[in-house]
Amino acid sequence: MTTKFGTVAVAFCLFAVPAMAQTAPPAPAVPVPVRHIKPSKIILVGDSTTAVFGGWGPSFCGYHVTSFLACLNLARGGRSTSNYRAEGSWDIALSEMRTPGYRDIWVLIQFGHNDQPGKPGRSTDLASEFPANLKRYIEEARAAGAHPVLVTPLTRRSFVDGKLVNDLAPWAAATRKVAAELKVPLLDLNADSSAAVGAMGSAEADRFAEVPPGAVQAVSPRAPARSTEVMVNPMAQPKLSFDHTHLGIEGANYFATMVTRELSVAIPEMRPFLVP
């Protein structure tokens, strides 16, 4: 027998349950796992045609790599395969190759300009010393856990009777031979740059120089701020001059793009880190 109070209680339950179901809090969302991206590193080793002043390296590091690729330019002007090691610069590069925390570390090695004869303290023998030095760089880079990449020397932009004189061709050939023997990726910058410069001609190629043709010597316009500390310890002020070897901003941009294109072909796994 149902009492008046029992009927009311049943009715309350019938209406209350659906109402409670509608206002129940939603189930907590399952957190989406965040994918950890481990960065990689690329180290530039070589002479002034790669270095911060006069080379393609600054444009490469500044415009052609993503934020997931640390780019370190350790190239130095006036260096050959011999004195780059003798002064301790290669030891610095090796330390960077051994730095933990990177998925991959590549080291681009470009020499030749200062290995040519007539440069005391720098020149190396083309037939023996130059290739032996390159091989040692490769072996030690691999031992440090890095991936070595050889780069043939950037061409000079010197013309005789309207034809480009590629006096670095023998050093480029020696570099290619070492790359083939040790199965190292090769960027044939000498072949590509000489073909491009030869096709454009002397007048157009002159625009790649550090300063305009006719200029003898100039000091970098990026003068440091005046202060007591700066006057005692001034910042580096490179002396720039016109020649057919070193690069200004336009030349650096042009050949850095060329290096990037060659790198994307030679090492396809690097493409996600490169900006055309």
| pLDDT over threshold 90, residue 136 | yes
Do 74 and 43 form a contact (C-beta atoms < 8 A)?
Answer: yes
Q: Is the pLDDT of residue 2 over 80?
A: no
pTM exceeds 0.85, yes or no: no
pLDDT, tens digit, 9 for 90 and up, residues 203-216: 999 999 998 886 65
pLDDT above 90 coverage of the chain, percent: 75
Q: What is the pLDDT of residues 101-128, one digit of tens each?
A: 999 999 999 999 999 999 999 999 999 9
Using alpha carbons only, give the angle 74, 165, 43 rounded to the nearest 5 degrees: 15
Name the percent of the chain lying above pLDDT 70.
Answer: 80
Task: Report residue 269 as tokens.
Answer: 């796994």
Residue ranges of the chain assigned to CATH 3.40.50.1110: 40-209+246-273
Any idea what the Cα angle at residue 242 is, between residues 215 and 230, rounded to 5°? Answer: 85
Is 53:256 a contact under the CB 8 Å cutoff? Answer: no
Q: What is the DSSP letter of 37?
A: P
The DSSP result for 133-201, as a single string, is HHHHHHHHHHHTT-EEEEEPPPPP--EETTEE--TTHHHHHHHHHHHHHHT--EE-HHHHHHHHHHHH-
Question: Per-residue pLDDT tens for 14-23?
Answer: 444 444 445 5
Chosen CATH of 40-209+246-273 out of 3.90.330.10, 3.90.480.20, 3.40.50.360, 3.40.50.1110: 3.40.50.1110
In this structure, the number of other CB atoms found within 10 A of the CB of residue 241 comes to 14
d(CA 262, CA 13): 76
Question: Residue type at 59?
Answer: S
Task: Kindly report, residue by residue over 49-81, the tens digit of the pLDDT.
Answer: 999 999 999 999 999 999 999 999 999 999 999
Which of 8-26 are b and which e, b meaning 16 or more Cβ less than 10 Å from the residue's Cβ? eeeeeeeeeeeeeeeeeee
